[in-house]
């Protein structure tokens, strides 16, 4: 048997425990780290991997899948007939058109660039649509191909250094908007192309806000690639924070907000590592920056502002598995209004994760119902939400099973 076949999660007759070990090692995690993530002792996890303990129940399987960021549940179970994509959505109908626009490099004079003010107004309207629409991917997906084409044309036709820097800032912003569409879609290579091009365009522009936004998104791309990439995420974040720090005394609201968003991302990554003190320290720093902003302000890209800090606290508490802390933070967050529909839905998903960890499964499903009301596309393409719903549609509790199935059907997760 070839060496690579022996480590293929689909190669029979691998036991469940062997698959866990292989996927854990590919993530660069120790047994102790994975055991901590899923809430069992290292001794218990060792017995699971060695086959000395029977395959755990569905709840534990889903926790392991979440901790290992398994893209397809079949990779973990070894049953291709039960393929379930967990952290990548099924692919939006407009993905092909967006991808074609990103990959296209038309000849120099084939596209006439729009006036700068016109492109700025269209971008502003696109961000408004993203925050206000229930189906925000559909809303921006129909706009992105033309925005990408026109922003690229604007950079090619810039006559002066000043015009070129302004055009590059707009191009970076278009790529930022694109990343919100491409995230959780089945094309990770496209996401990386857009993230890296956005960073290059932002650096070419020399615009602090553009650089901050591109760094925020690039750091997220690194972090979401798994624990082995956490250091790369932190490196991008720290460099951006250090770059922006001298500018903050006289910064605009948008620059101050992206600096605060970057500060929180350092805390989020620390929480993913279970570094409790560091995570809350960065949350505190981000909260201090949020307090310097008007109470009704929210950042057009990240939604950062005073209203979002409660939601961020829920996320930190959930990642740290801090018992009832996420419930307390959830109650606090609900007193603030998050203007962005997709961000509001994302917050609900984080709440549902917390209630699931606290074994309040009926409440978790009820919260996901609220997420679906706010932004169905957010919950449909979010791996955590999908995992919870797919688990609860198999619940032995009839009422919970029925409610989960209704939500899953409404967002198209159980569509034929």
Alpha-carbon distance 135 to 115, whole Å?
29
Residue-wise pLDDT for 213-246, tens only, equals 999 999 999 998 878 889 999 999 999 999 999 9
What integer pLDDT is reported at residue 12 of this predicted model? 42
Q: How buried is 324 (Cβ within 10 angstroms: 0-12 exposed, 13-18 middle, 19+ buried)?
A: exposed
Q: How far is CA 270 from CA 97, 278, 349, in A?
A: 36, 6, 20
Query: How high does pLDDT run on average in the chain?
Result: 86
Q: How confident is the model at residue 11 (pLDDT cuts 50, 70, 90)?
A: very low
Is 0.85 topped by the overall pTM? no
pLDDT in tens, 165-180: 999 999 999 999 999 9
pLDDT in tens, 34-76: 887 787 888 899 998 888 887 787 778 877 887 777 766 777 7
Residue ranges covered by each domain of the chain: 3-82
What is the architecture of the domain spanning 3-82?
Orthogonal Bundle (1.10)
Q: Please provide residue 85's backbone torsions phi and psi, each rounded to the nearest 5 degrees.
A: -75, 125
On the question of pLDDT at 323 being above 70, the answer is no
Question: pLDDT category, 369, cuts 50, 70, 90?
Answer: very high
397 half-sphere exposure, CB direction, 13 A CA radius: 10
HSE, side-chain direction, 13 A CA sphere, residue 231: 2
Query: 9 falls in which pLDDT band (50, 70, 90)?
Result: very low
Share of the chain above pLDDT 90, in %: 54
């Amino acid at each position: 048997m070839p060496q690579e076949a022996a480590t293929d999660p689909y190669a029979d007759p691998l036991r469940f425990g062997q698959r866990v070990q292989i996927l854990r090692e590919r993530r660069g995690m120790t047994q102790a780290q994975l055991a901590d993530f899923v809430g069992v002792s290292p001794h218990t996890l060792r017995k699971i991997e060695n086959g000395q303990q029977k395959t755990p129940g569905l709840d534990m399987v889903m926790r392991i899948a979440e901790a290992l960021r398994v893209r397809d549940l079949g990779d973990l179970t070894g049953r291709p007939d039960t393929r379930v994509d967990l952290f990548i959505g099924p692919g939006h109908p407009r993905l092909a058109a967006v991808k074609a626009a990103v990959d296209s490099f038309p000849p120099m004079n084939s596209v006439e660039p729009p006036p700068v003010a016109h492109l700025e107004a269209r971008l502003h309207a696109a961000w408004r649509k993203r925050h206000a629409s229930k189906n925000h991917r559909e809303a921006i997906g129909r706009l992105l191909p033309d925005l990408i084409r026109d922003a690229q044309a604007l950079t090619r036709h810039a006559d002066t250094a000043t015009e070129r820097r302004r055009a590059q800032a707009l191009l970076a912003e278009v790529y930022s908007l694109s990343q919100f569409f491409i995230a959780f879609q089945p094309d990770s290579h496209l996401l990386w192309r857009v993230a890296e091009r956005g960073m290059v365009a932002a650096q070419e522009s020399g615009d602090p806000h553009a650089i901050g936004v591109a760094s925020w998104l690039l750091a997220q791309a690194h972090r979401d690639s798994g624990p082995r990439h956490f250091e790369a995420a932190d490196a991008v974040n720290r460099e951006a924070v250090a770059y922006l720090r001298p500018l903050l005394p006289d910064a605009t609201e948008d620059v101050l907000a992206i600096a605060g968003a970057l500060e929180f991302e350092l805390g989020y990554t620390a929480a993913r590592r279970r570094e409790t003190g560091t995570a809350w320290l960065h949350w505190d720093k981000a909260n201090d920056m949020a307090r310097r902003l008007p109470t009704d302000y929210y950042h057009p890209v990240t939604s950062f502002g005073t209203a979002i800090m409660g939601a961020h606290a829920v996320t930190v508490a959930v990642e740290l598995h801090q018992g009832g802390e996420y419930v307390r933070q959830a109650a606090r967050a609900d007193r603030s209004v998050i203007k962005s529909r997709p961000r509001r839905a994302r917050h609900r998903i984080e709440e549902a994760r917390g209630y699931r960890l606290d074994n309040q499964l009926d409440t978790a499903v009820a919260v996901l119902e609220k997420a679906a009301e706010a932004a169905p596309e957010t919950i449909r393409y979010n791996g955590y939400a999908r995992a919870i719903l797919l688990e609860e549609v198999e619940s032995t509790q009839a009422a919970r099973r029925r409610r989960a199935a209704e939500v899953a059907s409404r967002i198209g997760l159980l569509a034929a």
